[in-house]
Amino acid sequence: MSDFSSKQYSWPDISVSLGGRILEGITEVEYSVKQEKTPLMGRGNDPHKILAGNKTYEGKIVIWQSELESMTQSAPGKDILKLEFDIIISYVPLDGGQTVTDVLTGCQFTEVKKGFKQGDKNMVIDLPIVFLKVKSQQ
């Protein structure tokens, strides 16, 4: 009989640290790894193997404007597009299940876009990122 837990993580279980500081004003985090894959064609009309190419890493964080302004104060020339940082995402279940930590290394923001509309109570900002590698389950 296998001995694994199928407990699910929820938003209160996640901590996201950027530049050594846990973000309190974060509402979303997303990251992905993609790899080029191409079928190897040869004799016949069916592929013989799948060939792997380059990997790319991208994602985004969604934060409050106050978090953005804090980062901007620390950025070179007050330009957060010049920042390079690691993001640490820790999944720590409140019920005592397995802790999982992923580290996104060499992150940089690719875009900053601010916006407000009538009725908004606060500003949330999508910040797309690219990074060099994800170290899973650290």
pLDDT, residue 32, reads 97
Tokens coding 109: 């923001």
pLDDT, residue 35, reads 97
pLDDT, residue 95, reads 76
**Whether the Cβ atoms of residue 134 and residue 57 lie closer than 8 Å to each other:** yes
Query: What are the sequence ranges of the domains in the chain?
Result: 11-135
Segments of the chain scoring below 50 in pLDDT? none
| 11-135: in CATH 2.60.40.10 | no
Half-sphere exposure (Cβ direction) of 46: Cα atoms closer than 13 Å: 1
- Residue 10 CA to residue 102 CA, distance in Å, equals 16
- DSSP state for residue 81 in the 8-state scheme: G
